[in-house]
Amino acid sequence: MATVTTETILWRGYASIYVWRRPIFIVLVLGLLGILILFSQYLPVPEEELIDSLPRHETHQYIAFSFWILAAIICAYIYIARISYGRYSVTSSRVIERHGVISNESNEVRIQDIRGINLRQSFVERLLGIGSLEISSAATEKQEVTFNNIRNPAKVKEIILGIQAYGYQTMASRNTE
């Protein structure tokens, strides 16, 4: 009779929102432009500059709503790209990296097979508390799993090293004491 081992998820995360700072800035600018254009209809304009084809308030509304729609499309792109960029998990027996929304790709390494964990942080990433973990095993020379731009990478590294050194059951009992 085979024994069934349950796997517990100890950490789960995505790439930090910091990665998407430029598109988020563009969304904020587009949203503010939409607001400015919408409320600019209340500014006084000399009568000789009025356009007869459309009332001024309708023109401003169309332009403002087009900026907001463009901002919403970029927000949807950020959300989908963030999910497809990478979903990362550390369980009691494996580290897992998943990519994709429609088609999925998954890389896994068993905790006991891990031979190296590299932590990479630039100065700005260190200030923001994010970084990347590169996890490799004895099976290949390159990194098999990479957690890109995650929050608290040192904590995640310590979780993995703790499981590797003490085992999940021992580590769980040490944390409850």
> For the segment 73-90, what is each residue's pLDDT rounded down to a tens digit?
988 888 888 777 788 999
pTM of the model: 0.70
Let me know: does 57 contact 94? Beta carbons within 8 Å. Answer: no
Q: Which two tokens stand for residue 158?
A: 């310590």
Q: What are the contacts of 155-161 at 24+ separation with CB within 8 A?
A: 156/11, 156/13, 156/90, 157/117, 157/119, 157/133, 159/10, 159/11, 159/90, 160/90, 160/95, 160/111, 160/114, 160/117, 160/135, 161/117
Interatomic CA distance for residues 118 and 123, integer angstroms: 16
Q: Going by DSSP bridges, is the β-strand pair 105-110/94-99 parallel, antiparallel, or unpaired? A: antiparallel
Is 121's pLDDT higher than 90?
yes
Section 57-65 average pLDDT: 79
